[in-house]
Structure 1
Amino acid sequence: MKYLSTRGGPERLSFEEAVIQGLAPNGGLYIPAAIPQLPPNWATEWSSFTFPQLSFQILRRFIPVSASEGGIPDADLKSLIERSYSTFRDPQVSPLVQLADHEWCLELWHGPTFAFKDVALQLVGNLFEYFLQRRNAAKSQGATPDRITVVGATSGDTGSAAIAGLRSKANIDIFILHPKGRVSPIQEAQMTTVLDTNVHNLAVDGTFDDCQDIVKVLFSDKAFNDQYRLGAVNSINFARILAQIVYYFSAYFQLQKQLGLSTASSFPPEIQFVVPTGNFGDVLAGYYAKRMGMPVQNLAVATNENDILQRFWKSGAYEKNSASSQSGHTSMSQVELAQSSLDSAAGGVKATLSPAMDILVSSNFERLLWYLVFETDTSGSDEERASRAGEQIGNWMKDLKEKGRFAVSEEQHKLARRDFSAERVSDSETKKTILKYFSSPPSAMHRKSYLVDPHTAVGMCAANRLVSSNRSATHQIILSTAHPAKFSEAVVSSLESAGAQFDFDRDVLPPEMHGLLEKERRVIDVKLGQQGGFESLVENTKAVIEKTVGASQAQSQANGAVTASS
């Protein structure tokens, strides 16, 4: 299995190279050269597997066995997976909870930081460590060890999950950029109270899109990237998507078991997955599961008021603002293009109760776009079609940066609507949904009220709206992305009418979070320069990384390089 860039080019990388590199030099995202298909008897043979066993079967189809091909031998892969999920509080890892006859919730927040991103980032952290150790073990005694500088942007949950996966790992520094004042107090505390010397939190004067664009600019700066060996933990890294495919299969088997259905049946249950969506990585994992051969009727994209994705499924146009596109610019540098993108979208990101979805441009959507182009182009060889798809994606991304929009063809839009639907949910609807499920359980199957975070509530509201257009036999599985304790302000404000019946600290806050807000913190502010603008944020971020990693490298060399036992 090789990996190619969504923006074309002859480069074909091994899995190891794709994970370590994260983002392609041309700005594209890595995707597998082909989507592997499930074996004939998967539905029966895998039905009793644990989550780690399912994970091994899925990952094995994307990762070669041979180390010489950038793969991972069976024993090592199984060990990595077992270690990654040993930290989860539920033996199912992602348990499926029934809410009503045809309504289910897939709880993805039983990991160390109480968010769905733990499922992927516990594994990604171990993959980084594994590949680094293997590379350094092959070096001669006395050689300088390879290091990785992980740089990521977060709207809240990615940061804490990435830090939990990478803290204290040898030869790795991790820098997490978050928009100052735009993450929940619990999310900020989960990141900034981790005092391990290799963990660095940067609070950026700007939005999540600013943080994400800074990361993309750093990765596109070849000299900077080469010097500091940047690695990605955002969902631009395909390993993140790969790990998330697994819980779709887990949900499928849990549903069959709870319904008492035979896995050998020729008529599997009809399933619609409803996914709270920001950067598009979570729902994209479901798309890969479907393309591999898992029966999925529909993937529903649930957005908040930052609704670029919902507007795309309605119109076929992908545009930052619903207003008319702005005049184009030519001969712009990467930094200037990013600055133009931010300027054209001034005020475009609306702060909502579901901040992890407050995103103007969904990075992972580029991967789906590539498949829409590739699948609707039926002439020539696969290599020729892949080349044309990469060229088209490159043109669209250029249009998005310079003009603020692009549009797909009618055929491509029709293909997108075949597999997906999309709904937009307002803040007022989010609050009403939180209260509804807390105070009025949908059925007697759930004996006590069910409390959810605002992102999950967005998914629930969208699911309720979609019921009327579904077939009566359809089971809706809503992905629950975070524990409600991570968004205390939104939850408490939604439940004000519940009065004395609700006590947040007593009823919601997990023991692991008690006293978290009072702990010592370490964070570096990245401020706008005197001239302001996006470029000053980039330069100030670079300065922090250069100073910090330079000190780490000096310490590493002082401690002595690779020893014979390493």
Structure 2
Amino acid sequence: MQFISTRGGMEPVGFTDVLLTGLAPDGGLAVPASLPILSGADLEDLRPLPYAELAARVIGLYATDIPEPDLLTLTRAAYGQGRFPEPVVPVTGLDQVTDGLILVGLSEGPTMAFKDLAMQFLGQAIPYVLRRQDRVLNILGATSGDTGSAAEHAFKGQDGVSVFMLSPAGRMSAVQRAQMYSIADVNIHNIAVQGVFDDCQNLVKAINADQAFKSTYAIGAVNSINFGRIAAQIVYYVWAWLRVTDELPAAERSAYRVDVTVPSGNFGNVYAGHLAREMGLPLRRLIVATNENNVLDEFFRTGVYAPRASKDTLATSSPSMDISRASNLERFLWTLLGPDAFAQAWRRLEEDGRVDLSKHVAAMRERYGFVSASSSHKDRLTAIRVVHATAGRLIDPHTADGVTVALSLMQPGFPTLALETAKAAKFGETVAEALGAAPEPDDVLRALLEAEQHVETIGHNVDALRALIEQDALVPEKV
């Protein structure tokens, strides 16, 4: 399997290369030069496998430069006991809420968020590749809430890896901050940026655009721009469809199509669903669910993509989705338009701050299955109350966003998988507003919230970030 850049300026490389580099040298994102296919027979072959073995098989379709026995060792370590309970991804019907609504539990990992499912794999795979190549890596990332803690918990204490994680100052929940800032390992560096997530993301892009600095300090990425994360996220789409169809007669399974609703900010999670669908998984519609920062919803409804300025990005009760420029959308636009038309559209976007692709709306819906809607704070509170009252389940505000949109767009005869993206305990204030009382924190969470926190605060200033990296980065001669 070879990977190329959306911008056209990178020679084809293998999976382990894109695993370490993040952004392509030309500033684009790595995409597969071709897609593997999962036939109905292939899916039946995967059906009996436990999650770790399924992950090795699915990721292995992309990671062809990692020997199969080694890849299985990595996925068993990533998804084994002590990191995730069994089943790794529980799939639960919510017929009490409405017929056909199914909750896919992606938040069973160490930081109670779906990011763990990809990050725990990277936490095994990246050190493995570094050891093979006798290299070090300084991971530079930006988080709106959950990516940061998932990355830091996956890589803390790992030899040959250092993490520099940017987060928007004051824009995460208390639990999200505590999960990141309480880590005292010397290879973890938290940096709060006075701004919004998009400001953090822009600083990461600026550092990556400086090829000399990036090379000198061995800068890599584990944000959703890293294709290793996308590959690991494809796994749970396959797993969920297999579990939903387990009880069907074998002859009916391959034609059983479902919808999936995905709370969306940076477009990485739903892009993984898009790849699963293109590979042959019977997903009918990919429902993009946004909050009040509804740039993606506007795009899929109208075809106009107009990212907003930082000052226009709202602080909401689903903070991990407070994003106005979705990095991974570039990958889908490249597929939608083709390389040449994409290059022209991207130039217009960079010059004008918006691009009108309204003539492609029908293709996005009919060919690729994308539909979208958004929710308000009031909608999310209602969804939390309804799910708790009818099904006895606590959901967080991001999952509530997905449930809200699912209930508005579901169609008879087509079950809808609602991806649960975080535990309610991470957002106790919003849950308390919805239900009148927050989930009672257990002893582990209470200790986490009381722990000393370690964080540097900077302005939206690339030189300040560069100085912090120069001070603490791993470089070969220091290892």
Taking structure 2 as the reference length, the TM-score comes to 0.96
Choose from 326, 329, 344 the match for 1:362: 326
Which position in structure 1 is the counterpart of 2:108?
A: 110
Amino acid at match of 2:106: L
The offset of 1:58, in angstroms, is 0.8
The Cα shift of 1:434 comes to: 1.0
Partner SS for 1:487: helix
Q: For residues 179-218 of structure 1, what are the alpha-carbon distances to aligned partners after superposition, in whole Å with 9 as ceiling and x for unaligned?
A: 0000111000000111000000001111000000100110
Aligned to 1:194: 183
Q: Select which of 415, 434, 452 maps to 1:475.
A: 415
Matched residues in 2 for 1:173 and 1:212: separation? 18
- Does 1:271 pair with 2:235? no
| 1:495 paired to 2:435 | yes
2:216 maps to amino acid: Q
Residue 127 of structure 1 pairs with residue 125 of structure 2: yes
Deviations 1:247-305 (A, max 9, x none): 01110111112xx2123436633301010000011111111111111111111000001
For 2:477 and 2:87, the matched residues in 1 are separated by 43
- Secondary structure of the residue aligned to 1:223 is helix
* Comparing 111-120 and 86-95, the one that deviates more: 86-95
Shift of 1:400: 2.5
Shift of residue 504, structure 1, vs aligned partner: 2.2
Distance 2:118 2:423 in 1: 16
Query: Structure 2 CA distance, aligned partners of 1:423 and 1:168?
Result: 41
Structure-2 residue corresponding to 1:462: 405
Superposed displacement of residue 399, structure 1:
2.8
Q: Which of 449, 467, 471 is the matching residue for 1:543?
A: 467
Asked if 1:178 corresponds to 2:167, the answer is: yes
Aligned to 1:43: 43
SS in 2 for 1:522: coil
CA contact (8 A) 1:275 1:479 kept: yes
Which residue does the alignment assign to 1:297?
284
* Residue 450 (structure 1) aligns with: 393
Does structure 2 retain, via aligned residues, the 8 Å contact 1:320–1:348? no
CA distance in 1, matches of 2:68, 2:306: 44
Match of 1:143 in 2: none
Consecutive aligned runs of 4 or more in structure 1 exceeding 6 Å deviation: none
Per the alignment, residue 371 of structure 1 pairs with 335
- Can you list the C-alpha shifts for 1:110-164, whole angstroms capped at 9, x where unaligned? 011100000000111211101110012xxxxxxxxx2111000000100000001
Structure 2: distance between partners of 1:52 and 1:263: 24
Is contact 2:428-2:438 (8 Å) kept? no
Give % identity.
Answer: 37
Query: How many residues get paired?
Result: 473
Matched, 1:228 2:152: no
Whether the 8 Å CA contact 1:298–1:420 is kept in 2: the answer is: yes
Q: CA deviation at 1:546?
A: 0.6
Q: Counterparts in 2 of 1:329-340, with a 5 A limit? A: none
Q: Match of 1:512, SS?
A: helix
Relative to structure 1, the CA distance from residue 503 to residue 2 in structure 2 (aligned partners, 3 Å threshold; closer, same or farther) is closer
Q: How far off its partner does 1:510 sit? A: 4.5
1:347, distance to aligned residue in structure 2 (A):
2.2
Q: 1:436 aligns with which of 383, 386, 389?
A: 386
Q: 2:166, 2:148 → 1: CA distance?
A: 8
Check conservation: 1:43, 1:263, Cα contact below 8 A.
no
CA contact (8 A) 2:9 2:25 kept: no
Deviates more, 1:397-406 or 1:349-358: 397-406
Q: Tell me, what secondary structure is at the counterpart of 2:185?
A: coil
* 1:267–1:215 Cα change, 3 Å: closer
Contact 1:44–1:264 (CA under 8 A) maintained in structure 2 = no
SS in 1 for 2:311: coil
The amino acid that maps onto 2:31 is: I
- Check whether the contact 1:109–1:482 (CA below 8 A) recurs between aligned residues: yes
Matches within 5 A, 1:414-429: 414-418=362-366, 419-429=369-379
> Match for 1:278: what amino acid?
G
Partner of 1:91: 86
2: CA distance between counterparts of 1:115 and 1:47? 25
Unpaired runs of 5+ residues, structure 2, are: none
Cα pair 1:235 1:281 within 8 Å, conserved: yes
Amino acid at match of 2:365: R
Cα separation, partners in 2 of 1:511 and 1:102, compared to 1, 3 Å:
farther
CA distance in 1, matches of 2:30, 2:159: 26
Unaligned runs of 5+ in 1: 65-70, 137-145, 322-344, 375-388, 497-501, 528-533, 562-566
- For 2:147, the equivalent position in structure 1 comes to 158
Task: Note if contact 2:424-2:439 (Cα within 8 Å) is conserved in structure 1.
Answer: no
Contact 2:46 2:54 in 1 (8 A): yes
What is the CA distance between 1:39 and its match in structure 2? 4.5
Greater Rg over alpha carbons, structure: 1
For 2:328 and 2:477, locate their aligned partners in 1 and report how far apart those are by CA, in whole Å: 38
- 8 Å contact kept, 2:10–2:24: no
Q: Is residue 2:450 matched to residue 1:518? A: yes
- For 1:473, the aligned partner's letter is G
Cα displacement (A) at 1:346? 4.7
- In structure 2, relative to structure 1, the CA distance for the partners of 1:306 and 1:503 (3 Å cut) is closer
Q: What is the rounded CA distance, in whole Å, between the counterparts of 1:557 and 1:320 in structure 2?
A: 42
Taking the aligned partners of 2:346 and 2:217, their CA distance within structure 1 comes to 26
1:79 to 73, 79, 82: 73
Distance 2:355 2:276 in 1: 28
Give the SS at the match of 1:115: coil
Instruction: State the alpha-carbon separation in 2 of the partners of residues 525 and 495 from structure 1.
Output: 34
8 Å CA contact 1:270–1:473 kept in 2: the answer is no
- Give 1:31's aligned residue: 31
Whether the 8 Å contact between 1:269 and 1:475 is mirrored in structure 2 is: no
Where 1:279 maps in the other structure, the secondary structure is coil
CA distance in 2, matches of 1:198, 1:481: 27
CA positional deviation for 1:479: 0.2
